[in-house]
Amino acid sequence: MKQIPRKPAVPRPAQETARHAVMELIRDHPLSAREISSQAHLAEKEVYSHLEHIRLSIHASGGYLEVTPAECRACGFVFAKRDRLTSPGKCPVCRDEFIFEPLFAIRQRQGHGQE
């Protein structure tokens, strides 16, 4: 079995955790999990785990995780009611498997902390 050579990991500064790196990447800038994975040097599966935690934890600072839903490339069906952050496997309408990935961004709630 031949092993594929891996790219060397780029170490993060000691004070910056993987979750903080993800949060900084998506603060007011929507990205897909694949783009986050590439830029933060994390496995895509790890990114979804971090996004779940971020979604639950940023409320204290007045923020929220904005999710632009996945969309079918073939028929345009929007997965608006989907609670899971992962990209769906196929469209329930046309059964096509080519889906635009959901996008994630951290936004601040209007009026929070401006009193």
pLDDT in tens, 6-42: 666 665 554 468 889 999 999 989 999 999 999 999 9
Domain covering 18-108: architecture: Orthogonal Bundle (1.10)
Q: What is the DSSP string of 66-87?
A: EEE--EETTT--B-TT---SSP
Q: What pTM did the predictor assign?
A: 0.77
pLDDT band at 97 (very low <50, low <70, confident <90, very high): very high
SS3 content of the chain, % helix, strand, coil (to 5): 30, 15, 50
Contact assessment for residue 103 and residue 36, using Cβ atoms and an 8 Å cutoff: no
